[in-house]
Structure 1
Amino acid sequence: MFFFIDIWSSCNMADVDNKEQSELDQDLDDVEEVEEEETGEETKIKARQLTVQMMQNPQILAALQERLDGLVDTPTGYIESLPRVVKRRVNALKNLQVKCAQIEAKFYEEVHDLERKYAVLYQPLFDKRFEIINAIYEPTEEECEWKPDEEEEISEDLKEKAKIEEEKKDEEKEDPKGIPEFWLTVFKNVDLLSDMVQEHDEPILKHLKDIKVKFSDAGQPMSFILEFHFEPNEYFTNEVLTKTYRMRSEPDDSDPFSFDGPEIMGCTGCQIDWKKGKNVTLKTIKKKQKHKGRGTVRTVTKTVSNDSFFNFFAPPEVPESGDLDDDAEAILAADFEIGHFLRERIIPRSVLYFTGEAIEDDDDDYDEEGEEADEGYQLFEEVKSCSKLFQRWLQ
Structure 2
Amino acid sequence: MADNSFSDGVPSDAVEAAKNASNTEKLTDQVMQNPQVLAALQERLDNVSHTPSSYIETLPKAVKRRINALKQLQVRCAHIEAKFYEEVHDLERKYAALYQPLFDKRREFITGDVEPTDAESEWHSENEEEDKLAGDVKNKVVIAEKETATAEEPNPKGIPEFWFTIFRNVDMLSELVQEYDEPILKHLQDIKVKFSDPGQPMSFVLEFHFEPNDYFTNSVLTKTYKMKSEPDKADPFSFEGPEIVDCDGCTIDWKKGKNVTVKTIKKKQKHKGRGTVRTITKQVPNESFFNFFSPLKASGDGESLDEDSEFTLASDFEIGHFFRERIVPRAVLYFTGEAIEDDDNFEEGEEGEEEELEGDEEGEDEDDAEINPKV
The separation in 2 between residues aligned to 1:200 and 1:158, in whole angstroms, is 40
Deviation at 1:247, TM superposition (A): 0.8
Is 1:331 matched with 2:308? no
Is 1:363 matched with 2:340? no
The separation in 2 between residues aligned to 1:370 and 1:333, in whole angstroms, is 21
Identify the residue that residue 131 of structure 1 maps to in structure 2: 108
Q: Which runs of 5+ in 1 are unaligned?
A: 1-16, 18-65, 375-395
One-letter amino acid of the counterpart of residue 77, structure 2: C
Q: Which runs of 5+ in 2 are unaligned?
A: 1-19, 21-43, 353-375
Is 1:340 matched with 2:321? yes
The separation in 2 between residues aligned to 1:170 and 1:192, in whole angstroms, is 44
- TM-score, normalisation: structure 2: 0.75
Distance 1:79 1:269, change over 3 A: same
Deviation at 1:162, TM superposition (A): 4.7
Identify the residue that residue 13 of structure 2 maps to in structure 1: none
Is 1:249 matched with 2:229? yes
The separation in 1 between residues aligned to 2:96 and 2:226, in whole angstroms, is 18
Total equivalences in the alignment:
305
- TM-score, normalisation: structure 1: 0.72
1:252-267 aligned at under 5 Å gives the runs: 252-267=232-247
1:349-391 residue CA offsets vs partner (Å, 9 max, x unmatched): 000000000000000010xx3259x9xxxxxxxxxxxxxxxxx
Is 1:146 matched with 2:123? yes
Please provide the CA RMSD for this pair.
2.6
One-letter amino acid of the counterpart of residue 225, structure 1: V
The separation in 2 between residues aligned to 1:318 and 1:177, in whole angstroms, is 43
One-letter amino acid of the counterpart of residue 337, structure 1: E
The separation in 2 between residues aligned to 1:293 and 1:84, in whole angstroms, is 81
Between structure 1 and structure 2, the one with the greater Rg is 2
Identify the residue that residue 73 of structure 2 maps to in structure 1: 96
Instruction: Tell me the SS of whatever aligns to 1:370.
Output: coil
Distance 1:84 1:333, change over 3 A: same
Distance 1:290 1:255, change over 3 A: same
The separation in 2 between residues aligned to 1:169 and 1:340, in whole angstroms, is 48
- Which residue, out of 159, 178, 182, partners 2:158? 178
The answer to whether the 8 Å contact 2:228/2:245 transfers is yes
Identify the residue that residue 12 of structure 2 maps to in structure 1: none
One-letter amino acid of the counterpart of residue 326, structure 2: R
Deviation at 1:289, TM superposition (A): 3.1
Deviation at 1:330, TM superposition (A): 1.8
Identify the residue that residue 171 of structure 2 maps to in structure 1: 191
Instruction: Tell me the SS of whatever aligns to 1:149.
Output: coil
- Which residue, out of 226, 230, 244, partners 2:210? 230
Instruction: Tell me the SS of whatever aligns to 2:251.
Output: coil
Distance 1:200 1:158, change over 3 A: closer
- Which residue, out of 160, 166, 172, partners 2:139? 160
Deviation at 1:139, TM superposition (A): 0.1
Is 1:209 matched with 2:186? no
One-letter amino acid of the counterpart of residue 360, structure 1: E
Instruction: Tell me the SS of whatever aligns to 1:348.
Output: coil
User: Percent same amino acid at aligned positions?
Assistant: 69
Please identify, of 138-147 and 280-289, the stretch whose mean Cα deviation from structure 2 is larger.
Answer: 280-289
- Which residue, out of 77, 91, 111, partners 1:114? 91
Identify the residue that residue 390 of structure 1 maps to in structure 2: none
Please identify, of 301-310 and 321-330, the stretch whose mean Cα deviation from structure 2 is larger.
Answer: 321-330
The separation in 2 between residues aligned to 1:241 and 1:83, in whole angstroms, is 61
Instruction: Tell me the SS of whatever aligns to 2:280.
Output: strand
One-letter amino acid of the counterpart of residue 134, structure 1: T
Deviation at 1:78, TM superposition (A): 1.5
The separation in 2 between residues aligned to 1:290 and 1:173, in whole angstroms, is 62
One-letter amino acid of the counterpart of residue 370, structure 1: G
Deviation at 1:156, TM superposition (A): 4.3
Distance 1:313 1:164, change over 3 A: farther
The answer to whether the 8 Å contact 2:298/2:313 transfers is no
Deviation at 1:148, TM superposition (A): 2.3
Instruction: Tell me the SS of whatever aligns to 2:269.
Output: strand
1:161-190 residue CA offsets vs partner (Å, 9 max, x unmatched): 155558969954332000000000011110
The answer to whether the 8 Å contact 2:226/2:246 transfers is yes
One-letter amino acid of the counterpart of residue 243, structure 1: K
The separation in 2 between residues aligned to 1:345 and 1:322, in whole angstroms, is 33
Identify the residue that residue 354 of structure 1 maps to in structure 2: 335
Distance 1:155 1:234, change over 3 A: closer
Is 1:74 matched with 2:51? yes
Deviation at 1:297, TM superposition (A): 3.8
Deviation at 1:295, TM superposition (A): 4.4
Instruction: Tell me the SS of whatever aligns to 1:203.
Output: helix
Which is richer in helix? 1
The separation in 1 between residues aligned to 2:202 and 2:72, in whole angstroms, is 26
Distance 1:275 1:193, change over 3 A: same
The separation in 1 between residues aligned to 2:132 and 2:215, in whole angstroms, is 49
